[in-house]
Amino acid sequence: MNVYFDNAATTRVRDEAVDVMVRVMREEYGNPSSVHYAGRYAAAILSGARGKVAAALGADPDEVYFTSGGTESDNWAILSSAEAMRRQGKHIITSAIEHDAVISPVKRLAGEGWEVTYLQPDPAGRIPVKDFSEALRGDTVLASIMLVNNETGAVNPVYEYSSEIKKRKLNTILHTDAVQGFCKIPFSAQELGAHLVTISAHKIHGPKGTGALYIRRGVKLPQLIHGGSQESGRRAGTEALPSIAGFGEASGLAAAELNTAAEAVRKLRAHIIERLKRELPETVFIGGGDSPYIISLSIPGLQSEVLMSYLEGEGICVARSAACRKGERSRVLEAMGLSGSVLNGALRVSLSRYSTQEEAEYFVSVLVNASGRIIGFKR
């Protein structure tokens, strides 16, 4: 039996999105910037997809800018915000649990003389509002804290960070990487209060290579890519229309299914945890368990690589940490201050709307069997 429980890394593209993408590639292949009828048809598809993504995000269509994915959106948000605000201050707030797509550009800015405050997570994996508030300064021009952590599923109170900025009457630009939260937990861009929000298609059963950056109306963010007037002159390059159309379709469907899908996944997650607590009591569950889609766990005394290899041999795909780290020890879990034995045995199990009870039962059975075979727990 094959079980794919690495949906935080990527998801399978849903059939409805594939059908739309194929149609656009075969029939509506005009350039959206062209003025003839083929271009106008393509522009209408682009506009429709933008409307669907915006509606799912709780934003206006003219606040949504398509990119090549979450990484580009994060880089655009961080680097262009710094460029726009450098005359007002050079202090940045971020956290030790951010995705590398945020950490890397922030480190680049630090190398250019910017001062960076890295906030540490609490035991549940969240960034406390008190710590965020205490880090804010008059020269803090950018803050970037993710909405849902991609390794632990911890949900950060982004709205409260926004409230702290408003309370202090600061000009701080607030960015949040919401890739793991978009269409998975209830929120809207307006409710979050963030100026910039990153989302991605391939985490919600859309195609890889497509994402978007929400830029709140009035925020003057410089271009990251130059060379054309696409995306209202903010992001040059011919839009990847088939993928964007698939993103729009996936967004519309995921938004409509959000509550029912989340409830089904939440029940599946609870069942997996209950069985593991009963049959493999040595299991340590990491973090507060905020997102229903992610289970971060560890079997102390067992190496993650060995366990992953065993599970893969039985047809099961899980992860040790974020896919972009390619098997390295999790920087996020290290920041949470976990012991070496917990870190070494950590796994991320991430579910999707397509995950089934049968898969969950098989996963638990194989995991319990693996622990007995590899380290000989006696039951």
Q: pLDDT, tens digit, for every residue of 66-83?
A: 999 999 999 999 999 999
In the numeric block, which tokens belong to residue 167? 């309370």
Give residue 87's pLDDT band: very low, low, confident or very high (50, 70, 90): very high
Q: Is a pLDDT exceeding 70 seen at residue 327? A: no
Both 233 and 310 in a single domain?
no
Both 210 and 318 in a single domain?
no
pLDDT at residue 165, rounded to an integer: 98
Both 88 and 198 in a single domain?
yes
Both 187 and 280 in a single domain?
no
Q: What is the CATH number of the domain that holds 324?
A: 3.90.1150.10
- Give the whole-angstrom CA distance, residue 203 versus residue 255: 13
Q: Is a pLDDT exceeding 50 seen at residue 243? A: yes
Q: Is a pLDDT exceeding 90 seen at residue 183? A: yes
In the numeric block, which tokens belong to residue 144? 């970037």
Q: pLDDT, tens digit, for every residue of 159-170?
A: 999 999 999 999
What b/e readout covers 180-215, taking b as 16+ CB neighbours within 10 angstroms? Answer: bbbbbbebebeebbbbbbbbbbbbbbbbeebbbbbb
Both 220 and 283 in a single domain?
no
Both 142 and 48 in a single domain?
yes
**Percent of the chain at pLDDT exceeding 70:** 96
Last residue of one domain, picked from the residues 226, 253, 280: 253
Q: Is a pLDDT exceeding 60 seen at residue 376? A: no
Q: Which amino acid is at 374?
A: I
pLDDT at residue 321, rounded to an integer: 63
In the chain, helix, strand, coil percent, each to 5?
A: 45, 15, 40
Both 213 and 292 in a single domain?
no
In the numeric block, which tokens belong to residue 48? 């429709």
Both 114 and 240 in a single domain?
yes
Angle between helices 357-375 and 241-279 (to 10 degrees): 60
- Give the whole-angstrom CA distance, residue 163 versus residue 192: 9
Both 66 and 174 in a single domain?
yes
Whole-model pTM over 0.85: yes
Last residue of one domain, picked from the residues 225, 253, 281: 253
Q: pLDDT, tens digit, for every residue of 30-59?
A: 999 999 999 999 999 999 999 999 999 999
Q: Strand pairing of 294-298 and 115-119?
A: unpaired
Last residue of one domain, picked from the residues 253, 280, 298: 253
**Percent of the chain at pLDDT exceeding 90:** 91
Q: Is a pLDDT exceeding 50 seen at residue 379? A: no
Both 345 and 361 in a single domain?
yes
Q: Catalytic site residues?
A: 324
Q: Is a pLDDT exceeding 70 seen at residue 155? A: yes
Q: Edge-to-edge strands of the sheet including 284-285? A: 284-285, 294-298, 346-350
Both 226 and 328 in a single domain?
no
The parent domain of residue 364 ranges over 3-11+259-375
Q: pLDDT, tens digit, for every residue of 106-153?
A: 999 999 999 999 999 999 999 999 999 999 999 999 999 999 999 999
Residues 6+ apart with CB under 8 A from 66: 50, 210, 211, 212, 231, 235, 239, 240, 244, 247
Distances in whole angstroms, Cα of residue 172 to Cα of each of 148, 164, 220, 271: 21, 10, 13, 42
Q: What is the CATH number of the domain that holds 90?
A: 3.40.640.10
Cβ atoms 179, 323 nearer than 8 A: no
Number of domains in the chain: 2
Strands (E), 106-202: 115-119, 140-144, 173-177, 196-200
Mean pLDDT score, 276-283: 95
